[in-house]
Amino acid sequence: MVHLHRIYTRTGDDGSTALGDGTRVPKDHERVAAYGTVDECSSVLGIALAHGVPAPWAERLQVVQNDLFDVGSDLCRPGSQDDSPRIDEDYVGRLEGWIEEANQDLPPLESFILPGGTMCASWFHLARTVCRRAERHVSALLADPREMGQANPAVLRYLNRLSDLLFVLSRRVNHDSGEGDVTWRPGASREG
């Protein structure tokens, strides 16, 4: 259980922060950027939820927000730590099932989708792009020779599926609202 007695510690005033194992790293370290961006994604999902997400997706996105804390904990603790949640294939598989469910009966894609439509879909698009950024940070972390074996590759798969889920959910809520997809029209600005 986490117990926070003070919000500020002053230990980061020098531009460093402590990882979950006590190691101090610069605040711009790829690991810190990765879990910070995961936190940002969860915050965007919180805004989406505050604007109203239809059932059953609201409850599932609260599960995702909890998962994202597990992802952050996983990223914050280099190596294999038995005392913190580790992302595994069960997390990924749950997202895949939700993607299949959300994608049922949606019209096939015939163009790229522009972010937009309903407020909810727009927030999902923003969360998706933040999630993709987190995925890029984790990918860089996994490729860093100094981090070999210290980062969990299942985190990358989880973030990849989450961004897919958020894309499909944006389509789902636009479809269910009657808005439909907002599609890219190449060269539209050239049209009269």
Summarize pLDDT for 110-136 with one digit per residue, the tens. 999 999 999 999 999 999 999 999 999
Q: What is the pLDDT of residue 160?
A: 98
Sign of the Cα pseudo-torsion (171, 176, 178, 179, in order):
negative
Share of the chain above pLDDT 90, in %: 71
- Range 176-186 burial, b when 16+ CB lie within 10 A, else e: eeeeebbeeee
Average pLDDT score, the chain: 89
| Alpha carbons 152 and 156: distance in angstroms, whole number | 8
Report, as an integer, the average pLDDT of 62-78: 94
| Alpha carbons 42 and 92: distance in angstroms, whole number | 17
**Taking a C-beta distance cutoff of 8 angstroms, is the pair 177, 57 a contact?**
no
Q: Which tops the pLDDT comparison, 80 or 77?
A: 77
Q: What is the pLDDT of residue 177?
A: 95
**Beta bridge pairs of residue 24:** 18
**Full set of structural domains in the chain with CATH:** 27-102+118-182 (1.20.1200.10)
Single-letter amino acid, residue 23: T
Q: Which tops the pLDDT comparison, 104 or 8?
A: 104
Which pLDDT band holds residue 9 (cuts at 50, 70, 90)?
low
Which pLDDT band holds residue 74 (cuts at 50, 70, 90)?
very high
Summarize pLDDT for 148-191 with one digit per residue, the tens. 888 899 999 999 999 999 999 999 999 999 989 999 999 888 87
3-state secondary structure 42-74: HHHHHHHHHCCCCCCHHHHHHHHHHHHHHHHHH
Which pLDDT band holds residue 40 (cuts at 50, 70, 90)?
very high
Q: What is the pLDDT of residue 14?
A: 62
